[in-house]
Structure 1
Amino acid sequence: MVIGFREGVSFDRHRSNWDGTGPRPISWCMWYPAVTSAVESELSGASWFVTSPVAHGAPLNNRAGCYNLVLLSHGTGGSAAAMEWLGHGLARRGFVALAVSHHGNSAIERYRLEGFACLWERARDLTCMLDSLHWIADIASHINTRQVFVAGFSAGAYAAMLLLGAQTSSSPFYGLGAARCGMLNSRQFPDIATRIPRLFLESAVFRESWKRMSASYLDTRFTAGLLLAPGPSVLGFAADSLAEIRAAVRIVVGDGDKVAPASECSDWLHHRLRNSMLEILRPNVGHYIFLPKPSRLGLRSTPEYFTDVDKIRRSSIHARLVETSAAFFHSTMRNDRL
C-alpha cells in the first residue's frame, strides 16, 4: 500500500496564542492510504527519527469509500512527527491518521511554560482539527466523522481522556494537585510550580486558560481511545468523571516505565474506568519505547529517549502495537449508516 503524507498549520480563531498576538496555531501531519500510482520518497531534512517513505501530497485512494480517522497527541515536549510510527502504521491498515503539535508544548517551536502547565488546551486542539476538516476537502468527504478515534502518548493520553469525558479536578503542577501527583515537574521546566504564580500576574491568556482547567472537553464524536504510557497528569482527573465514561479505552504501558510507573498511573486509571483494558509490556520496557526508532542524530542528541534495554527491539514492539491498536479500533466500530 502507498501511504500519502501532508503537513501544514491550522489556526483556532477562538483561542489566542500564548503571546496574545493572534490565533492559536496547530501544526499537523497526516498519513493516509494514497492512490497506487503515487511515488513514495524519504522525508527531507534532519530528524531525530527514522521514518518510512511517503507520497507527499498524493491524492487519497478513494476506492475504500469512507475511512475512519484517528487523531494523535504527542507526549510532553514532543511533536506530531513523534507519532509517525503509529500514524504511518495505522494508515497502512486503512485508517487516516492526523497528528498535531501542541502550541507551547512542542519541539517544533520555543517551549512555553504555559503550554506545559495548561495541558487541557491539547483537547481543544484535536476538536478544532476535527471541526476544520474543510481544509482537506478532497479527503474530508471520505472520512467518517461519526466515529472518530483518539490516541495519545504520555501527556497525549491525558488529552485523549479529556475528549472521552474525563474532567480535571486539579493541576498536577500546582496547589493540591501537585501534592497528589508528587510535585510533578517537567524536564523542560523543572521549576514549573514556582513559576506559575508569576504567570497569573503577567499573562491574561494564561489566566483565561487556567479558568478552563475543569471544563468539560467531551466530544462525543470520539468513540474509543488508545492510551500509551499515560503520565501522572491523569491523577488530576475527578474520579466521578472517569466513572461516567462509556467509550472503550485501551491502555498500554511498559513494566519498566520510571516516568509514569504502571502501578501509579495506568493501573490507577484502569480501575476507575468501566470499559478499559490494560496491557503491560514486558520485560524492562521503558516510557520512551513509544517514541520512533532514532536516527543517528536523535541517538546522539538525547540517548535517554532512545536507548532501550538489551534485546528490546523498538521496531518490533511498534509493529505489534500497530496491529493490536488497529484491531482494537475495529472492534469498537458501530454499524451506523454513514
Structure 2
Amino acid sequence: MKTLISAVLLCFLTTLAHAAGIKVVQIPSDAEGPALKAMVWTPCSMPASEVRIGPYVLKGQRDCPTVGGKHPLIVISHGHGGSYLGHHDLAETLADAGFVVAAINHPGDTFSDMSRAGELSEFVERPTDIKRLIDYMLSAAPDAANIDPQRIGFFGFSRGGYTGLVLAGGIPDFLHADVPCTDPNAPICEQLQRQEVSVGPLTHDARIKAFVLADPLNVFPTAESLKNIKAPIQLWASEFGGDGVLPRNTPALADTLPQRPEYHRVANAAHFAFLAPCSDAMKHDVPELCVDANGFDRIAFHRQLDDMALAFFRANVQ
C-alpha cells in the first residue's frame, strides 16, 4: 500500500511540475512564400519558470526536450499587426496538457512588418502561411517525430479567424461583406471602391480537424461562401468588437455557418480582450491593446477561454 501511495503521489507531483517547452524556429522560404518565423511550445517535464521575450512574460522552459510520444498539433494565427506571442497563455495551457503548439508571424502583417497589411495579397497568403507551417511541423521541425499528423487543430483571432475559415473551406466575398474600411487609403479599400476584388485560388487544408475562432474578421456574408465548411468550430464573440470587427459580425457568422458552432459571447469585452493578459510594461506602452474598459477582468476570462478551448480540442482533435 505504501508503495502504491508513493507511486500515486509521485505521478501527481510530476503532473504539477511540468511546463511548456519553448523554442523559436525558422521555416525556410520556398516556392509558396518567404521564410516564416515561428514559436513552438511542447510538453516538457521540467518545472515552469518565467521566460521573458521582449515585453512578454511567458511561463515555461526554453528548449526543453519534448516528453511523450505522438502529440496532437495546434497551429495559431494572430490578428492584424499581431505576433506569434499574442496568445502565449493558450499555447502554454495546451502544451502543459500534451499538445504541440506552433504560431507564426505572418509576413507583411505582423508587429515588426506591416508592409502589406493593407493589401488584398495578405488575405490570400495567410492561409498558405499556415499550410506551410503545418507542412514544416510534420516534416522538418525538431519535433516532427513527436506529432500525430491525424490530430491537428487551429486557433485564430481576428484576421487569424478569417484565416481559419478559409482553411476550413470558406470562400471570402469582400465586395459584399459587412466590414468597414478603417483606412480608406489602404490598397484593399481602394480596390473595393472600384469593385476590383479577385482573390484567385485560396489554400484550404483538410488536415485541420477542428477550429477555435475568436472575433474572426467575417467576410463570408452568405451561406454559399461557407457551404464547404464541415469541421467543428468553437466560436467566440466579444460584446463590443473592434479593429474592423463589428459587434454583429460574429453572431451573423454563427447563424450562417452550415453547422451551428459551439458559440460563446463574452459580455463586457472588446476585441482585444482575446489577447493574452499583458505584462506591466505592455500595459504602460500599449494600453489600447492591454487595458480593458468597464472593469473587465482579462485574467479571469483567459482562464475560462483557455480551459474551454482545451476541452474543445480534446473532444475534437485528441
The two structures share one fold, judged by TM-score above 0.5:
yes
The answer on 1:296 being equivalent to 2:280 is: yes
The 5 Å alignment of 1:106-185 reads: 106-107=110-111, 109-113=112-116, 116-117=119-120, 118-133=122-137, 134-137=139-142, 139-170=143-174, 176-177=175-176, 180-185=177-182
Change (3 A) 1:119 1:183: same
CA distance in structure 2 between the partners assigned to 1:193 and 1:277 by the alignment: 35
Q: Pick the aligned partner of 2:247 from 262, 270, 289.
A: 262
1:307: Cα distance to partner? 1.5
| Alignment partner, residue 204 of structure 1 | none
The answer (yes or no) to whether the contact 2:73–2:99 under 8 Å persists in 1 is: yes
SS at match of 2:141: helix
- Long gaps (5+) in structure 1: 17-23, 171-175, 198-209
Q: Give the % identical residues.
A: 22
CA distance in structure 2 between the partners assigned to 1:181 and 1:195 by the alignment: 13
| Alignment partner, residue 223 of structure 2 | 239
The answer (yes or no) to whether the contact 1:162–1:217 under 8 Å persists in 2 is: yes
| Alignment partner, residue 46 of structure 1 | 54
1:135: Cα distance to partner? 2.9
Q: Pick the aligned partner of 2:307 from 299, 305, 323.
A: 323
CA distance in structure 2 between the partners assigned to 1:114 and 1:8 by the alignment: 23
The answer (yes or no) to whether the contact 1:185–1:193 under 8 Å persists in 2 is: no
In the alignment of these two chains, the number of paired residues is 293
Q: What TM-score does the superposition give when structure 2 sets the normalisation length?
A: 0.84
CA distance in structure 2 between the partners assigned to 1:316 and 1:194 by the alignment: 37
| Alignment partner, residue 200 of structure 1 | none
The 5 Å alignment of 1:212-223 reads: 213-223=199-209
CA distance in structure 1 between the partners assigned to 2:179 and 2:146 by the alignment: 45
1:114: Cα distance to partner? 5.3
Change (3 A) 1:326 1:194: closer
Change (3 A) 1:183 1:53: closer
Change (3 A) 1:148 1:112: same
- Comparing 241-250 and 152-161, the one that deviates more: 241-250
1:273: Cα distance to partner? 1.3
The answer (yes or no) to whether the contact 2:179–2:246 under 8 Å persists in 1 is: no
| Alignment partner, residue 249 of structure 1 | 233
Change (3 A) 1:119 1:113: same
SS at match of 1:280: strand
Residue identity in the other structure for 2:312:
F
How well do the aligned residues superpose, as a CA RMSD in angstroms?
2.4
- Long gaps (5+) in structure 2: 1-17, 192-196
CA distance in structure 2 between the partners assigned to 1:92 and 1:8 by the alignment: 20
The answer on 1:192 being equivalent to 2:192 is: no
1:240-292 deviations in Å (ceiling 9; x for gaps): 241221100111112122442332x111211121221211011x111100112
1:221: Cα distance to partner? 0.4
The answer on 1:96 being equivalent to 2:113 is: no
The answer on 1:58 being equivalent to 2:88 is: no
CA distance in structure 1 between the partners assigned to 2:311 and 2:41 by the alignment: 18
